[in-house]
Structure 1
Amino acid sequence: MDERRTRGVSLRGWGGVAAMAVVCALTAVFALLLPLTQRTAAPADGAGMGSAGVADGTQARATDCEAGVDGKEPERSLRPSGDESGDAVREIKDRGYLSVGVDQNSYRWGYRDPNNQDKKSELEGFDIDLAHEIAGEILGDPSAVRLKAIPTNERIPAIQRGDVDMVVRTMTISCERLKDVAFSTAYFQTGQQVLAPKTDKDIKGFGPSLADKRICTATGSTAFDTLDTAKKSGKLPASADISTTVPNQLDCLVRLQLGEVDAVVTDGALAASQAAQDPTVELKGDPFTEEYYGVAMKKDADGLVRRVNKVLEDYREDGGWQKSYDFWLKPALGASDGPPAPKYK
């Protein structure tokens, strides 16, 4: 990982949601202050790493995919290979740059810091580091990447249309999504969690305390699918209102701040980052699912999937993943033992 993406700099807060609202095409008139933090380069040996609190699911996953979807464990992927003769990889090399769909408003994952004048508000974060890492291994230049900000509900369509070569955007691997795209092996583990105002003492987490509550999720997210299934099965009260969905997950935080919803359900890793943005909200209860993030690509791009899995293998072994985690996510999520072990078919 190059110095540009790992050196310690001061993150002094955004001074308000107004800047983020412009990025998200939202209209907001209130201020969102970030706590003062200091980013420092992580130790090379990863000493003192424990287990991040939001990384462990507390409810068993349904791992049996439907007929026609390969494998009972969705996060299993093609075995890694350094071979670059596949059509998708050759196309990228001939073009001279990698096109990656990313987020631009998930704090510490993929976002712009308008207060960081040195970087002129360029995209940065944990997922952005990974996009640069993939470009560096395939093209020999971490900067040979074009980052395209896409909303949550456009992740799969952007891949299918060929707008991007891949999506690196806190995207959970699931049986349903495997019908439309291919995934790398998992590079991050988390779980769905509830985010709500600290002042709301009634909400205890997922379950009965969400009765009569208005809950926001992102359109096309695994959070909405989970809540919809839970309502139908009776695990979530029938009176819970899950009708509010938004194109970008951060829009849920805005709705929460405006009082338009009572709670947000999203991946705990994202929720913790949002709680770091806004000290008036907090995580409620434990994670109630087990989720794995993967790099999404076209279904027929087997060579590219294998090449990305080789990048992820190297990223784990050379300490790059741990350095990026410590740099971006440790302040919000706590220490981590490292990425999930790769699983191959």
Structure 2
Amino acid sequence: MGGVTMRVRRVRAGLRGWGGVGAMAGLCALALALVLLLPWTGSGPAAGAGAGRGGRGVASGTPAADATCTDPEKQTLAPSSADGTTIAAIKARQGEKRKLIVGVDQNSYRWGYRDPNNSVAELEGFDIDLVHRIAQDILGDPKAVQFKAIPTNQRVPAIQEGRVDMVVRTMTISCARLGDVAFSAPYFKTGQQVLAPKSSSVDGYDATLAKKKICAAAGSTAYTRLADDQKAGKLAAGATIATVPNQLDCLVRLQLGEADAVVTDGALAASQAAQDPTVELKGAPFTTEYYGVAMKSDASDLVRRVNQILVAYSANGWQASYDKWLSATLGGDAATSRPPAPPQYLRTS
């Protein structure tokens, strides 16, 4: 028990300098208390078995990518404002239940999080702004939303099991995921990067990761890339991979000294570096990825409607949301984060 107490003290000491986001320390301390009870999976691809597409385990497998899939961010349907059976069912909900049910994060600073300085502690952030715009278009009320906080490894199961109408949660469009869910056109561009302590010898996604313990969220594209590279002999020699259910847990592991580096989307890593001044991004992004709104594979009318909304949102709303939430962590120039323009819609049915 004494060892746990000492680790908590070290983390608290590291959190004292959080500056403008000091209020987030309470959230991370809570996350710490919870994460100490979470399983820490073993290393290597085998550690990912057991929670792939529908399970609730900690780790996930690496789905086999569709060899015929190229440019996954283009594999979506053309925009349409027409209502279909999915949208009709959403609109048919009565009373307090007449809401869009959306899976989001509540722990990703600037994306989807609860600000304890806000008296009502409502969810806010870049992803949350987009959800409100979608609700406004479909139900005529931006607040007609039932938010469901879901961990990284439950995004696909939540959609498939009908627990949510959609997921708006920094979710990368990938060929593997296209076999499980449908995606909108991209609404954000990012790439995988390494996050590590400033004092670390790690320089990026390279040989400096040798013999390091790397943390990634189960079910994430970061884990898929790490596992694939390890299997192919492309990961730094002796590096091990461990997973947690939620991406924020990796930051806590890093603070505890139980991980040497984190691999995640650069957009998320930048927000975490803003929360903890003892860590920083290491090296340039080594992938190009796009976030999309995820929905059921057969919800074609909803996919088309969201794409229609994104066309308007890209022209009026996207930049204001970026300036408000992300410019402080990603810089004032949003050009590198902008999704492709114009988007392409290669899916036909």
Q: TM-score, normalised by structure 2?
A: 0.80
Q: Give 2:232's aligned residue.
A: 233
Distance 1:155 1:16, change over 3 A: closer
Counterpart residue identity of residue 14, structure 1: G
8 Å Cα contact 1:108-1:329 kept in structure 2: yes
Distance 1:23-1:133 versus aligned 2 partners, 3 A rule: farther
1:28-67: per-residue Cα shift (whole Å, max 9, x none)?
A: 7xxxxxxxxxxxxxxxxxxxxxxxxxxxxxxxxxxx8335
Give the superposition deviation at 1:232.
Answer: 2.0
Q: How does 1:136-151 map to 2 (within 5 A)?
A: 136-151=136-151
> What is the CA-CA distance between 1:16 and the residue it aligns to?
5.5
Counterparts of 1:198-237 in structure 2, within 5 Å, are 198-200=198-200, 202-237=201-236
Query: Quick one: which of 311, 323, 328 aligns to 1:326?
Result: 323
What's the offset of the Cα at 1:116? 1.9
Could you say which residue in structure 2 is the equivalent of 1:59?
Answer: none
* Partner Cα distance (2:231, 2:207) in 1: 14
**Percent identical across equivalent pairs?**
64
* 1:225-266 Cα shifts (integer Å, max 9, x gaps): 101111222221230011x20111000000000000000000
Alignment pair present for 1:275 and 2:285 = no
1:97-144 CA deviation, whole Å, 9 max, x = no partner? 100000000000000111222xx1111000000011100011111001
Match of 1:290 in 2: 288
Q: Paired residues, what number?
A: 291
After superposition, the Cα gap between the structure-2 partners of 1:314 and 1:25, relative to the gap in structure 1 and judged at 3 Å, is: farther
Q: 1:317 to 1:328 in 2, by over 3 A?
A: same
Matches within 5 A, 1:30-41: none
Structure 1 residues 181 and 332, CA, compared in 2 at 3 Å: closer, same or farther?
Answer: same
Q: 2:5 aligns to what?
A: none
Q: Is the contact made by 1:21 and 1:27 (CA closer than 8 Å) also made in structure 2?
A: no
> Is 1:264 paired with 2:266?
no
Aligned twin of 2:312 = 314
* Residues 123-134 of structure 1 mapped to structure 2, 5 A cutoff: 123-134=123-134
Q: Secondary structure at the match of 2:72?
A: coil
What is aligned with 1:65? 66
Do the aligned residues in 2 keep the contact of 1:183 with 1:297 (CA within 8 Å)? yes
Query: 1:191 corresponds to which residue?
Result: 191
Other-structure match for 1:109: 111
Q: Is the 8 A contact 2:24 2:115 kept in 1?
A: no
Structure (1 or 2) with the greater helix fraction: 2
* 1:26 aligned counterpart, secondary structure: helix
Structure 1: gaps spanning 5 or more residues = 1-10, 29-63
Amino acid in structure 2 at the alignment position of 1:284? K
Q: 2 CA distance for matches of 1:203 and 1:20?
A: 24
Tell whether the 8 Å contact from 1:82 to 1:310 is kept in structure 2 after alignment.
Answer: yes
1:160 touches 1:298 (CA, 8 Å); kept in 2?
Answer: yes
Match of 2:99 among 97, 101, 120: 97
SS at match of 1:75: helix
Match of 1:299 among 297, 300, 313: 297
Q: Is the 8 A contact 2:35 2:249 kept in 1?
A: no
Distance 1:311 1:92 in 2: 16
Query: Residue by residue, what CA displacement relative to the aligned partner does 1:151-206 show, whole Å, maximum 9, x if unpaired?
Result: 00000000011000000000000011001000001100100000000011x21100
Give the counterpart letter for 1:106 in structure 2: S
Q: TM-score, normalised by structure 1?
A: 0.81
Q: In the TM superposition, what is the alpha-carbon distance from 1:12 to its structure 2 partner?
A: 4.5
Shifted more, 165-174 versus 229-238: the winner is 229-238
Whether the aligned pair in 2 keeps the contact of 1:13 and 1:115 (CA below 8 Å) is no
Identify which of 243, 246, 251 aligns with 1:245: 243
Contact 1:23 1:104 (C-alpha < 8 Å) held by counterparts:
no
Partners of 1:301 and 1:340 in 2: CA distance: 23
| Residue identity opposite 1:307 in structure 2 | R
Contact kept, 8 Å, 1:217 with 1:246, in 2: the verdict is yes
Q: Name the amino acid aligned to 1:327.
A: K
- The code of the aligned residue for 1:213 comes to K
C-alpha contact (below 8 Å) 1:14/1:115 kept by paired residues: no
Q: Which amino acid in 2 is paired with 1:139? A: L
CA distance, structure 2, for counterparts of residue 149 and residue 25 of structure 1: 18
Provide the C-alpha distance between the structure 2 equivalents of 1:21 and 1:219, rounded to a whole number of angstroms. 21
